[in-house]
């Protein structure tokens, strides 16, 4: 196809503003999907996406739209709206020249509207603002158009008002895409350069590589090389998404599609890499993607130690299609061998955990999310500290720093007071406040990431009756009065239970941890002493009295097996219990401490 007739665009918006529904209508109007195959949010085909009603992965699809007697090829990418998946948005934007910025006309501009719009501006996109859900009685398109102009400086007076639900005016959006978004600028005659913007693993066909051809073209049975990994393959099949994979002869500059090459080695494909012809002339690598910045870390341990290898395979497979996930091996005294994973946020973490369990049938234990700290040592060098256990003694460092997030909250004006309160309660420092319109205000705070990880978002939601939204980015690391809260069991420090906390919180947290442990650690033959301490200063104690009576009255031949199993039950597989000195600590006890914070 002539590149002049191609348009590549992403649909971006705040969560739930109707991107996937708009994509549905576009698929329908252009006849890409037959009416009987149509279902709501068709592109959300992952089980978890359908269950939760949100988009998790960006999906590309090719549609054909006729305007003034000319057929155009439109490559559409539906992106997720949730902040945790913004890396998907970033990746998608690089494969396009323009974006449809969708805004729910009843909700107005929200945090991710702003964040994603800025990503599109940075990517030099032609942005087409579209107001959605005008069928709703409380839709206020004019007001929202003004909000777009004032908060984003994007011309919105002629924004198209649509209903993605009914399909009203969606054809106008397609026309405008053709009119406004520039065709791809690549050179069809130049040597092949294509951007790998996604990949998924298929058990039968190997890795399916999603690509956007920038220059030249790619055909079946081409020998191609991935510049970054240096791997060479012959393309077995190439094709487009319609939205199912559909074979084609070739993909030209500007087009979006896939290729299959029976690649089984997960490491051979890297999202962001540049694809070229193996024997072709030297070309410059495409810029690719910036490393994702992981906000949240948590450890995954297989419940069955024998699953350790399977877990690695599963994580590698997930990493392929979700390059924003990172993992590395960890060992814990308490939980054995596992992986420390980096996520973009809590929802991302939850999704990965569920995908491991469902798609890879793994049973696992997950520790509470934690952030990465930084220490400045005596020689002025900075080191990362991923877990409290790795923190050197206080006399060996100058400063202990924590990540600070710049949190931008969009809320109706009447909730300014409560939002200020929860922000300062979470050690937030006020940055600024701006009115987007008469009724909506943007409040910006710098808040330690550790403080917003657990329940901040829930609190914001509840103190604004569900209207508040937030977006955040890490702005840097800052020293504060942070201490390592140690937990000692019969005088022995248990690293897996220790945490890094602000000094002002140490006391409360220490007490809470001991209470939980006291509940979960069974009585022993001897007294078990629990202590929470900072260095040599004991903040709290609890004792678990020694067992006084624990004896089976009857034990005869008929019952030996069952009685033995009962006695062994507390252990039932090595992983259920960890020994610290002579004390057996059940895994439940660790989890109540490591994972329990969010619930307390």
Query: Please, what is the minimum distance in Å from the beta carbon of residue 103 to ligand GTP?
Result: 10
Distance of CA 530 to the CA centre of its chain: 37
User: Two tokens at 383?
Assistant: 């080191």
Query: Please, what is the minimum distance in Å from the beta carbon of residue 438 to ligand GTP?
Result: 25
Distance between CA atoms of residues 26 and 31, nearest Å: 8
Spatial CA neighbour of 239 closest among 60, 361, 56, 440? 60
Name the binder of 161 from ligand GTP, Mg ion, another protein, none, CB < 5-8 A by kind. none
Binding string, residues 42-61; x marks residues near Mg ion by CB under 5 A: -------------x------
Q: How far is CA 113 from CA 54, 148, 400, 461, 469, in A?
A: 16, 9, 35, 17, 10
The answer to the question of residue 34 lying near another protein (CB under 8 A) is: no
The answer to the question of residue 276 lying near ligand GTP (CB under 6 A) is: no
φ/ψ of 544, rounded to 5, equals -110, 110
The answer to the question of residue 164 lying near ligand GTP (CB under 6 A) is: yes
The answer to the question of residue 135 lying near ligand GTP (CB under 6 A) is: yes
Q: How far is CA 575 from CA 369, 469, 562, 587, in A?
A: 21, 41, 21, 7
Stretch that binds ligand GTP, among 118-126, 161-169, 283-291, 544-552 (CB under 6 A): 161-169
According to CB under 8 A, which one of 223, 328, 547, 600 is a site residue for another protein? 547
Name the binder of 285 from Mg ion, ligand GTP, another protein, none, CB < 5-8 A by kind. none
Burial class (CB in 10 A: 0-12, 13-18, 19+), 178: middle
**CA within 13 Å, CB half, 369:** 24
User: With CB under 6 A, what is the number of residues at the site for ligand GTP?
Assistant: 22
The smaller minimum CB distance to Mg ion, of residues 83 and 419, is found at: 83
The answer to the question of residue 54 lying near ligand GTP (CB under 6 A) is: yes
According to CB under 6 A, which one of 67, 165, 205, 386 is a site residue for ligand GTP? 165
According to CB under 8 A, which one of 168, 245, 248, 577 is a site residue for another protein? 577
Query: Please, what is the minimum distance in Å from the beta carbon of residue 20 to Mg ion?
Result: 3
The smaller minimum CB distance to another protein, of residues 40 and 555, is found at: 555
Query: Please, what is the minimum distance in Å from the beta carbon of residue 276 to another protein?
Result: 55
Considering only residues 187 through 246, tell me which ones interact with ligand GTP, judged by CB under 6 A.
none
b or e along 111-148 (b: 16 or more beta carbons within 10 Å of the residue's beta carbon)? Answer: bbbbbbbebbeebebbbbbbbbbbeeeebbbeebbbbb
The smaller minimum CB distance to another protein, of residues 266 and 577, is found at: 577
According to CB under 8 A, which one of 524, 541, 575, 588 is a site residue for another protein? 524
What is the DSSP code (8-state) at residue 39? Answer: -
Considering only residues 526 through 545, tell me which ones interact with another protein, judged by CB under 8 A.
526
According to CB under 5 A, which one of 20, 235, 408, 531 is a site residue for Mg ion? 20
According to CB under 6 A, which one of 32, 75, 76, 80 is a site residue for ligand GTP? 80
Specify the residue for token string 């994007």.
154
Burial class (CB in 10 A: 0-12, 13-18, 19+), 53: exposed
φ/ψ of 417, rounded to 5, equals -55, -60
Query: Please, what is the minimum distance in Å from the beta carbon of residue 7 to ligand GTP?
Result: 20
User: Two tokens at 572?
Assistant: 């039932």
User: With CB under 8 A, what is the number of residues at the site for another protein?
Assistant: 27
According to CB under 6 A, which one of 8, 10, 20, 499 is a site residue for ligand GTP? 20
Partners of 75 in the β-ladder: 8, 62
Whether residue 384 contacts residue 397, with contact meaning beta carbons closer than 8 Å, is answered with no
Name the binder of 18 from Mg ion, another protein, ligand GTP, none, CB < 5-8 A by kind. ligand GTP
Query: Please, what is the minimum distance in Å from the beta carbon of residue 593 to another protein?
Result: 22
| Three-class secondary structure of residue 313 per DSSP | helix
The smaller minimum CB distance to another protein, of residues 4 and 574, is found at: 574
According to CB under 8 A, which one of 203, 284, 556, 599 is a site residue for another protein? 556
DSSP secondary structure, 65-87, as one string? EEETTEEEEEEEEE---SGGGHH
Distance between CA atoms of residues 195 and 94, nearest Å: 9
The answer to the question of residue 17 lying near Mg ion (CB under 5 A) is: no
Stretch that binds another protein, among 165-173, 283-291, 463-471, 555-563 (CB under 8 A): 555-563
The smaller minimum CB distance to another protein, of residues 438 and 551, is found at: 551
Name the binder of 568 from Mg ion, ligand GTP, another protein, none, CB < 5-8 A by kind. another protein
Distance between CA atoms of residues 399 and 301, nearest Å: 31
User: Two tokens at 218?
Assistant: 């790619």
Name the binder of 133 from Mg ion, another protein, ligand GTP, none, CB < 5-8 A by kind. ligand GTP
Give strand ranges (E) for 118-227.
Answer: 126-132, 160-161, 193-202, 206-215, 217-219, 223-226
The answer to the question of residue 81 lying near ligand GTP (CB under 6 A) is: yes
Stretch that binds ligand GTP, among 53-61, 270-278, 554-562, 566-574 (CB under 6 A): 53-61
The answer to the question of residue 113 lying near ligand GTP (CB under 6 A) is: no
Distance between CA atoms of residues 299 and 338, nearest Å: 7
Burial class (CB in 10 A: 0-12, 13-18, 19+), 478: middle
Partners of 365 in the β-ladder: 301
The answer to the question of residue 132 lying near Mg ion (CB under 5 A) is: no
Distance between CA atoms of residues 312 and 335, nearest Å: 16
According to CB under 6 A, which one of 8, 30, 41, 75 is a site residue for ligand GTP? 41
Whether residue 340 contacts residue 328, with contact meaning beta carbons closer than 8 Å, is answered with yes
The smaller minimum CB distance to another protein, of residues 446 and 520, is found at: 520
Name the binder of 13 from another protein, ligand GTP, Mg ion, none, CB < 5-8 A by kind. ligand GTP
User: Two tokens at 110?
Assistant: 């929200």
Burial class (CB in 10 A: 0-12, 13-18, 19+), 204: exposed
Q: Which residues bind Mg ion (CB under 5 A)?
A: 19-20, 55
Q: Which residues bind ligand GTP (CB under 6 A)?
A: 13, 15-21, 41, 53-55, 80-82, 132-133, 135-136, 163-165
Q: Which residues bind another protein (CB under 8 A)?
A: 524-526, 547-561, 564, 567-568, 570-571, 577, 579, 582, 584
């Amino acid at each position: 196809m002539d590149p002049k007739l191609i348009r590549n665009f992403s649909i971006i918006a705040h969560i739930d503003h109707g991107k996937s529904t708009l994509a549905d209508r576009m698929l329908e109007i252009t006849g890409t999907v037959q009416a009987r195959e149509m279902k709501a949010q068709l592109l959300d085909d992952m089980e978890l996406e359908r269950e939760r009603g949100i988009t998790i992965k960006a999906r590309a699809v090719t549609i054909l739209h006729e305007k003034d007697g000319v057929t155009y090829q439109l490559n559409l990418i539906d992106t997720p709206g949730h902040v945790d998946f913004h890396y998907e948005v970033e990746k998608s934007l690089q494969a396009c020249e323009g974006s449809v910025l969708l805004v729910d006309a009843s909700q107005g501009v929200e945090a991710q509207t702003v964040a994603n719009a800025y990503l599109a501006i940075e990517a030099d996109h032609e942005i087409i603002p579209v107001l959605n859900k005008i069928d709703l009685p409380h839709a206020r398109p004019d007001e929202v158009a003004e909000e777009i102009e004032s908060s984003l400086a994007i011309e919105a007076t002629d924004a198209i008002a649509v209903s993605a639900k009914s399909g009203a005016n969606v054809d106008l959006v397609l026309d405008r895409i053709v009119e406004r978004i520039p065709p791809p600028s690549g050179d069809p005659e130049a040597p092949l350069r294509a951007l790998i913007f996604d990949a998924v693993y298929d058990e039968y066909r190997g890795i399916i590589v999603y690509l956007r051809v920038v220059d030249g073209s790619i055909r079946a049975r081409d020998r191609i090389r991935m510049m970054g990994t240096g791997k060479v393959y012959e393309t077995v099949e190439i094709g487009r998404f319609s939205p199912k994979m559909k074979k084609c002869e070739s993909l030209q500059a500007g087009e979006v599609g896939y290729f299959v090459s029976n690649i089984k080695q997960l490491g051979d494909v890297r999202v962001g890499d540049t694809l070229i012809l193996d024997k072709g002339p030297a070309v410059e690598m495409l810029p690719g993607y910036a490393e994702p910045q992981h906000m949240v870390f948590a450890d995954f341990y297989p419940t069955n130690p024998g699953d350790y290898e399977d877990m690695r395979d599963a994580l590698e497979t997930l990493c392929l299609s979700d390059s924003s996930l990172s993992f590395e091996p960890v060992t814990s005294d308490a939980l054995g061998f596992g992986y420390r994973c980096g996520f973009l946020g809590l929802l991302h973490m939850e999704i990965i955990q569920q995908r491991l369990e469902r798609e890879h049938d793994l049973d696992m234990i997950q520790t509470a999310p934690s952030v990465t700290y930084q220490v400045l040592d005596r020689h002025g060098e900075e080191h990362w500290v991923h877990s409290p256990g790795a923190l050197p003694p206080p006399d060996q460092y100058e400063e202990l720093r924590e990540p600070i997030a710049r949190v931008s909250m969009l809320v109706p004006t009447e909730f300014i007071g409560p939002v200020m309160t929860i922000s300062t309660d979470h050690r937030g420092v006020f940055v600024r406040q701006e009115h987007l319109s008469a009724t909506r205000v943007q409040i910006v705070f710098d808040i330690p990431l550790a403080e917003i990880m657990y329940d901040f978002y829930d609190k914001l939601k509840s103190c604004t009756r569900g209207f508040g939204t937030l977006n955040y980015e890490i702005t840097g690391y800052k020293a504060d009065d942070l201490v390592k809260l140690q937990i000692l069991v019969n005088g022995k420090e248990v690293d897996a239970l220790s945490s890094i906390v602000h000094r002002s919180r140490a006391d409360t947290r220490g007490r809470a941890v001991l209470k939980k442990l006291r509940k979960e650690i069974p009585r022993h033959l001897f007294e078990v002493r629990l202590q929470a301490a900072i260095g040599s200063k004991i903040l709290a104690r609890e004792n678990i009295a020694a067992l006084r009576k624990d004896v089976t009255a009857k034990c005869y031949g008929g019952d030996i097996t069952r009685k033995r199993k009962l006695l062994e039950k507390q252990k039932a597989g090595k992983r259920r219990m960890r020994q610290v000195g002579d004390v057996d600590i059940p895994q439940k006890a660790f989890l109540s401490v490591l994972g329990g914070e969010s619930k307390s």
